[in-house]
Amino acid sequence: MFLWDFFPEYGQPVEKPAAVVVHVEVADADALWQRALAAGASVVIPLEMQFWGQRYGQIADPFGHRWSIGEPMRPAG
């Protein structure tokens, strides 16, 4: 799979994104979360521990694409 943002500065029209959420799992969700916010993302679902046991949140990037960010779940026990 290959993903990229539109390039409006080169005349490429920015259209509404498709109804999908791209999910990424990283070892340090907080670091990626802060990096995304610094780049202009807005919070959709706050990054926090969820009821299913994962640290997880969703953001929308400046183009409107939704991203979910999570950390791998730790084994129970």
- Is pLDDT at 72 greater than 80 in this prediction? yes
In what side-by-side order are the strands of the sheet with 42-49?
Answer: 21-25, 66-70, 55-60, 42-49
Per residue in 24-57, pLDDT (tens digit) is: 999 999 999 999 999 999 999 999 999 988 999 9
Q: Give pLDDT, residue 24.
A: 94
Radius of gyration of the chain (CA): 14
- Is pLDDT at 64 greater than 90 in this prediction? no
Residue ranges and CATH numbers for the domains of the chain are: 20-70 (3.10.180.10)
pTM: predicted TM-score of the whole model, two decimal places: 0.76
Q: Residue by residue, what is the 3-state secondary structure of 26-39?
A: CCCHHHHHHHHHHC
Name the pLDDT band for 2 (thresholds 50, 70, 90): low
